[in-house]
């Protein structure tokens, strides 16, 4: 049938009706909040390019984790920024590294909060690349060895989930093997399976002090024009032992999120990255858009595309509104 019998506006005429027939709904359980932890004490440093986001010292991050848990957000993912960096990224797998200490502190203070860790070297290397560099080239296999050791150190510290974000070939298999060999076979891997070499990471690199000191990351992160290649990356990570597949960025790659949902029957995560987050805030500060509505719409679009889990710097602020 058609108009005038079919009138789709009938079910849109009140908020109650709209709520009742809504196909997708945001929930606190959808969210993972990224947190930055730094050396020092009493620090809650605002990140200028990411309004509402801070770097926390170890003594402050547990209180932030408690606040997040009280809002109903079930998980955080930690990005550690060490006091000293070197070419090898020695702090990445140090037993007393900043991330390892943060994991232990949060698990002791907020035991029911799921603590995930970003497994990469870029925050720890003085050159800012995600792996071991030799004569200007990022080496794959030596980098994978370092990443596996880093993941193991996070598991030993108490991490609930490890999340490799480097895009080195074979790193999921190496991490799965080393975890299993050390009796951490119950620790899931959330793989940044399709991580694109995106222009939307700028504010994050300010926050994590991880801008490459030479070149860029196009030789290992995915090329933005490629769609089919993402499915190959995801299938390889599943074959190597990944439990959750992540797409990064999210908003600019909703087609990839939808492809993942259509092709793989595993949990799909998507990272609402710093540039996507900060653009909304910047426009809202100028009065060009309704920031709260735009942020929730953006997150809803990510969920509608097929994401089960959404990493977003807006997780806590949106969760607070969902609870009210």
| 105's tokens | 């502190």
Distance CA 315, CA 64 (A): 13
Q: Which residues contact 224 (CB under 8 A, 6 or more apart)?
A: 196, 197, 198, 252
* Closest CA relative to residue 163, chosen from 318, 313, 309, 315: 309
The catalytic residue positions are 195, 248
Whether residue 39 is preceded by a cis peptide bond, meaning omega within 30 degrees of 0, is: no
CB atoms within 10 A of CB 9: 6
Contact 230, 247 (CB under 8 A): yes
Using CA atoms, how far apart are residues 2 and 50, in angstroms rounded to an integer?
48
Look-up of token digits 């609870």: 323
């Amino acid at each position: 049938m058609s108009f005038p019998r079919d009138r789709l506006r009938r079910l849109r005429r009140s908020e109650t009706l709209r709520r009742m027939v809504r196909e997708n709904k945001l929930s606190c359980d959808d969210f993972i909040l990224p947190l930055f932890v730094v050396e020092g004490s009493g620090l809650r440093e605002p990140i200028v390019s990411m309004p509402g986001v801070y770097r926390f010292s170890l003594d402050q991050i547990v209180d932030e984790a408690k606040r997040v848990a009280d809002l109903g957000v079930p998980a955080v993912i930690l990005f550690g920024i060490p006091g000293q960096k070197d070419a090898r990224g020695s702090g990445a797998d140090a037993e007393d590294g900043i991330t390892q200490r943060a994991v232990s502190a949060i698990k002791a203070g907020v035991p029911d909060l799921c603590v995930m860790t970003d497994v990469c070297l870029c925050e720890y290397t003085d050159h800012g690349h995600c792996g071991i560099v030799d004569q200007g080239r990022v080496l794959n296999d030596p980098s994978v060895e370092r990443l596996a050791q880093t993941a193991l150190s996070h598991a030993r510290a108490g991490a609930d989930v490890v999340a490799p974000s480097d895009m080195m070939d074979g790193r999921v298999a190496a991490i799965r093997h080393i975890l299993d060999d050390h009796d951490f076979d119950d620790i899931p891997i959330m793989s940044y399976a399709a991580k694109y070499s995106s222009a939307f990471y700028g504010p994050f690199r300010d926050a994590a002090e991880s801008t490459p000191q030479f070149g860029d990351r196009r030789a290992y992160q995915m090329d933005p024009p490629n769609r089919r290649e993402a499915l190959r990356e995801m299938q390889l990570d599943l074959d190597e032992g990944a439990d959750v597949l992540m797409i990064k960025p999210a908003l600019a790659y909703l087609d990839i999120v939808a492809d993942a949902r259509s092709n793989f029957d595993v949990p799909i995560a998507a990272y609402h990255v710093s540039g996507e987050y900060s653009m909304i805030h910047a426009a809202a500060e100028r009065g060009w858009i309704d920031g709260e509505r735009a942020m929730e719409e953006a997150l809803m679009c990510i969920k509608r595309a097929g994401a089960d889990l959404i990493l977003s710097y807006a997780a806590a602020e949106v969760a607070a509104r969902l609870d009210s």
